[in-house]
């Protein structure tokens, strides 16, 4: 939905821009269903002065559209692109009651700030198409999901594992598994959360790092001390090595 801004607000922003830089502006004016002027100047001030003059005429009704898409304005001026037929129709309908000006502006010349200010004002009610509503909802859900999963990495090599490997790594990463510690503390299934080695609770870290029952097997897979971070969040080879180790322990995971 477009912000509702007064001409004075837009004018003030342009006056601010002109005071700090010399801008190159391009204006196309529509009147009575015909393009009647295509002009370039070295300053936006000329256009505002010209528009103010037109506004002082009796019964003058001016509508200005500002855009940083010069290619669109050039296509409108050429009046040859069939894909712009709907735009032409809307603009020509508007010219029946208003003098209509399409003006190119340099991007990021204070307009972003002005648009943000306008978005905080009361907006005109207008219907939203199904396609627009679908796009808005999709973007909202994507932002919401990203906020709820700050550690998500779409390049995680986890997604290159086969299904059985993914299951093992997921269970070891999250702790949602069938190991004694999780089953006993969460569901009160079993008589204890301890590992059969009696050296600690049966957790992913215990299995991968310290359990004496798998010391020899662990040494075969990792000849040097390796962190849990590397074993569960490392490269593709790290994850496959961990999944294979977990499978060969024959432990319930």
Rounded to whole angstroms, the Cα distance separating 35 from 43 reads 22
For 163-200, the pLDDT digits (tens) are 999 999 999 999 999 999 999 999 999 999 999 999 99
Query: Is residue 49 pLDDT above 50, yes or no?
Result: no
pTM: 0.48
**Number of Cβ atoms within 10 Å of the Cβ of 66:** 19
What share of residues in the chain are helix, strand, coil (percent, to 5)?
55, 10, 35
Query: Is residue 253 pLDDT above 90, yes or no?
Result: yes
Residue 13: which pLDDT band, with cuts at 50, 70 and 90? low
What percent of the chain has a predicted confidence (pLDDT) above 90? 45
Query: Is residue 15 pLDDT above 80, yes or no?
Result: no
Residue 10: the pLDDT is 53
Task: Please say whether the beta carbons of 39 and 57 come within 8 A.
Answer: no
Which residue, among 125, 114, 31, 22, has the nearest Cα to 66 in the 3D structure? 114
Question: Cα separations (Å) of 109 from 8, 28, 206?
Answer: 16, 20, 59
Higher pLDDT, 100 or 166: 166
Residue 80: the pLDDT is 78
Mean pLDDT of 206-226: 96
Kindly provide the residue ranges of all beta strands, DSSP E only, lying in 71-185, ordered along the sequence: 99-104
Query: Is residue 67 pLDDT above 60, yes or no?
Result: yes
Residue 79: the pLDDT is 75
Mean pLDDT of 16-40: 44
């Amino acid at each position: 939905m477009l912000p509702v801004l007064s001409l004075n607000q837009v004018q003030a922003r342009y006056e601010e821009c002109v005071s700090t830089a010399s801008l190159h502006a391009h204006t196309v004016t529509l009147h009575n269903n015909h393009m009647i002027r295509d002009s370039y100047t070295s300053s936006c001030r000329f256009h505002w002065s010209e528009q103010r003059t037109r506004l002082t005429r009796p019964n003058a009704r001016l509508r200005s559209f500002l855009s940083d898409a010069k290619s669109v304005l050039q296509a409108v001026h050429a009046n040859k692109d069939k894909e712009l037929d709907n735009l032409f129709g809307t603009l020509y309908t508007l010219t029946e009651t208003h003098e209509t000006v399409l003006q190119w502006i340099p991007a990021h010349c204070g307009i972003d700030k002005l648009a943000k200010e306008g978005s905080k004002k009361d907006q005109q009610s207008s219907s939203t198409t199904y396609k627009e509503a679908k796009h808005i909802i999709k973007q909202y859900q994507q932002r919401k999901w990203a906020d709820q999963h700050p550690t998500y990495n779409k390049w995680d090599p986890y997604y290159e594992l086969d299904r059985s490997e993914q299951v093992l790594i997921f269970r070891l990463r999250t702790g949602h598994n069938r190991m004694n510690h999780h089953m006993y503390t969460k569901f009160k299934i079993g008589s204890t959360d301890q590992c059969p080695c009696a050296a600690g609770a049966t957790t992913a870290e215990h299995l991968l790092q310290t359990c004496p029952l798998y010391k020899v097997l662990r040494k075969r897979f990792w000849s040097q001390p390796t962190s849990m971070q590397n074993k569960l969040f490392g490269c593709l080879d790290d994850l496959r090595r961990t999944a294979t180790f977990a499978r060969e322990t024959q432990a319930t995971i």
